[in-house]
Structure 1
Amino acid sequence: MTKKTQRLIWILSALSLLAGLTFLFAFTKGPINFTLDFRLPRLIAFIVVAISMSLATVTFQTLTHNNLLTPNIIGIDSIYIMFQILSIFLFSSQSLIQTNPVLHFSLNTLGVVIFSLVLFNFFFKKFPNNIPLMLLFGLVLGILVNSFNNFLQVIMNPDEYSAVLSQTLVSFSQVDSRVLTLALLSIIPIAFYLFKNRHELDVLSLGNDYAQNLGIAVQKRQLVYFSLVAVLTSIATALVGPVSFLGFLGANIAYTILEQRRHDAVFIVTSLVVFLFITFGQVIVDHLFQAEVNLGIIIEFIGGLYYLFILLKGRSRQ
């Protein structure tokens, strides 16, 4: 890394530390131990989601060679919601699957991961080196799954429908510590693996032909990385709900402020930017808006505007 990049990372790290301390200790009422017991798991969840969405989005954009895409384009968030709805529709909101948070998290995450792996394996074997077709199929499948989800919600009774809404809406407010531990243990080896193979991702970002000429088994490695993207996205979605633009925001801001596109720097800067968005955003929501506004809605709104800005900015250069 250059000295400018290292300086930027130190600045973002300091801001992240300030954001974390502000979230933990600002506007505290009552015993500090009680406040920390409530806020510390949420802060750890912010870190898990920031790392998961950042690594997943950057890796996905590297594999697809498109900064405007996010992993949710292949329907991961829609599939997650479908599993949530089906588990309540088939077994009720009082079943063991719903009342046991670890079992609920594990089954939903596993279901999304299995779906993603089947999708990737099918396309890499049936249509090798045709990622655009896979993305288009995932996009259409996501639309179909959303229609199916809406149908199930219509025929549900009101109580079950309320349970579905509480589980599928984006929420950074409540995190189960047992689920958080499982999520943390899941992303640590994946994050280590991606960072260890950052140089290979640097080569893949140059294009498939260059990577092939440099001795990389492109199709095999793409399948591995797409699978890891699915796992990371599933974990983040299962923790806080579907947040399509969160990783997109962090990744594209990182591309803008960095002078280079090496993955070690991009991974770190994107994670720090996403963490700042979540943490400072949650402080504002909790204490300025008195928790009456959902942070996920704000992130999606800002992300949508930023997406349009980048799209129109790119068009104006043509």
Structure 2
Amino acid sequence: MAVVRAHPLALLALCLLGLGAAYLFAGLGPNAGFILPLRATRLGGMLVVGASIAVATVLFQTVAQNRILTPSIMGFDALYVLMQTALVAVIGAVGFTSLPKALKFGLEVGVMITAAVLLFGTLLGRGPRDVARMILTGVILGVLFRSLSGFVARVMDPNAYSVVQSVTFASFTRIDATLLLIGGSAALAAIALAFALSRRLDVMALGRPVAVSLGLGYERLMLLVLALVALLVSVSTALVGPVAFFGLIVVGLAHALVGADRHARLLPAAALIAGIVLVGGQLIFERLIGQQSTLSVVVECVGGLVFLWLLLKGRVR
């Protein structure tokens, strides 16, 4: 039975390995020494971001007990856009583009994690309704952040606004190698901890009353899981920009493939599917259609349609 269960994950791993090799080595030509490191950085970034978003979405849905919610509902993507807009408005387009990348990355991750900790610590008490209140507050804050970003953008110089536009749309082709090393290390540590908590997450998924009756320290585990979500979402957003519905797609596919009862299978399946979607999609857009469109735009479009379909089908758990 264990061999049968291993097949989906093994097939996903082989598929991702093949796509990764094709992305790295296909059509290198005489400039392999220059192209290969560039492709390796992009490939590593896509794998880190994909796994981070997938794992964060699984964790968030487990805490929220709802399979149509994603961490973006908490307003992290809107906060990221507001930070970029505010920075450009305060220091100007030239100052923004001349900021050290490591400093900017650290600032973005630090602000988003701090905001998440303040939100979680303030709103999460010892009652089952606190998660719903936290989610509702996140939605309201997201609307507030988007409104503030829109207001600042309207009074901004057109040249400065073009800079804001260039950094507030997700891009998998402008990942910095140094930032990938820093952010990837933090993300991989968080993902490893999430895998170590798989059995506890299985108990948490049964609901608070059942989990508490089985001896699980529910509140402490919930805070730890939400902290991991905040770290993973912050790192992925700071690396490539906001991607709202990507996690919904890959986690939905993972549920369909391996089921929802065991996080030990669901987490790696979601991470592998995320890598396949990003690497395969980027391979198609770069090599087959010559960058005639942007992968993030297509992912968001498909993700939005999936969200509407789940909403209309009433797939709320």
**Do both share a fold (TM > 0.5)?**
yes
Contact 1:84 1:168 survives alignment (8 Å): yes
Superimposed CA distance per residue, residues 96-122 of structure 1 (whole angstroms, 9 cap, x where no aligned partner): 785311111110111011011101111
Superimposed CA distance per residue, residues 246-302 of structure 1 (whole angstroms, 9 cap, x where no aligned partner): 111111111011145211111100011111110010011112221131110000111
> Which one-letter code corresponds to 1:265 in the other structure?
R
After superposition, where does 1:84-233 map in structure 2 within 5 Å?
A: 84-95=84-95, 98-125=98-125, 129-233=129-233
Aligned Cα RMSD in Å? 1.8
- Inter-partner Cα distance in structure 1 for 2:41 and 2:207: 40
Task: Describe the shift of the 1:314–1:21 C-alpha distance in structure 2 as closer, same or farther (beyond 3 A).
Answer: same
Moved more, 64-73 or 84-93: 84-93
Question: Secondary structure of the residue that 2:107 maps to in structure 1?
Answer: helix
> Which one-letter code corresponds to 1:11 in the other structure?
L
Superimposed CA distance per residue, residues 64-94 of structure 1 (whole angstroms, 9 cap, x where no aligned partner): 0111000010101101111111122112233
Shift of 1:126: 9.0
Shift of 1:158: 1.5
> Which one-letter code corresponds to 1:77 in the other structure?
D
Shift of 1:186: 0.8
Task: Describe the shift of the 1:225–1:97 C-alpha distance in structure 2 as closer, same or farther (beyond 3 A).
Answer: farther
Task: Describe the shift of the 1:259–1:68 C-alpha distance in structure 2 as closer, same or farther (beyond 3 A).
Answer: closer
Shift of 1:165: 1.0
Report the equivalent of 2:60. 60
> Which one-letter code corresponds to 2:230 in the other structure?
A
- Inter-partner Cα distance in structure 2 for 1:140 and 1:131: 14
Contact 2:80 2:237 survives alignment (8 Å): yes
Report the equivalent of 2:35. 35
- Inter-partner Cα distance in structure 2 for 1:69 and 1:288: 33
Report the equivalent of 1:309. 309
- Identity over aligned pairs, percent: 31
Structure 2 stretches lacking a partner, 5+ long: none
Contact 1:93 1:99 survives alignment (8 Å): no
Report the equivalent of 2:25. 25
- Inter-partner Cα distance in structure 2 for 1:123 and 1:259: 31
Report the equivalent of 1:257. 257
Question: Secondary structure of the residue that 1:153 maps to in structure 2?
Answer: helix
Task: Describe the shift of the 1:126–1:75 C-alpha distance in structure 2 as closer, same or farther (beyond 3 A).
Answer: farther
Shift of 1:125: 4.1
- Inter-partner Cα distance in structure 2 for 1:139 and 1:160: 28
TM-score (norm 2): 0.95
Question: Secondary structure of the residue that 1:99 maps to in structure 2?
Answer: coil
Superimposed CA distance per residue, residues 215-235 of structure 1 (whole angstroms, 9 cap, x where no aligned partner): 122122211211110110011
> Which one-letter code corresponds to 2:141 in the other structure?
L
Q: Does the alignment pair 1:71 with 2:97?
A: no
> Which one-letter code corresponds to 1:153 in the other structure?
A
Contact 1:87 1:97 survives alignment (8 Å): no
> Which one-letter code corresponds to 1:277 in the other structure?
V
- Inter-partner Cα distance in structure 2 for 1:297 and 1:81: 16
Contact 1:285 1:294 survives alignment (8 Å): yes
Structure 1 stretches lacking a partner, 5+ long: none
Contact 1:246 1:299 survives alignment (8 Å): yes
Question: Secondary structure of the residue that 1:206 maps to in structure 2?
Answer: coil
- Inter-partner Cα distance in structure 1 for 2:310 and 2:4: 24
Q: How many residues align?
A: 316
Question: Secondary structure of the residue that 1:31 maps to in structure 2?
Answer: helix
- Inter-partner Cα distance in structure 1 for 2:173 and 2:260: 35
> Which one-letter code corresponds to 2:222 in the other structure?
Q
- Inter-partner Cα distance in structure 2 for 1:194 and 1:97: 35
Contact 2:45 2:175 survives alignment (8 Å): yes
- Inter-partner Cα distance in structure 2 for 1:260 and 1:303: 20
Task: Describe the shift of the 1:99–1:218 C-alpha distance in structure 2 as closer, same or farther (beyond 3 A).
Answer: same
> Which one-letter code corresponds to 2:191 in the other structure?
A
- Inter-partner Cα distance in structure 2 for 1:261 and 1:32: 45
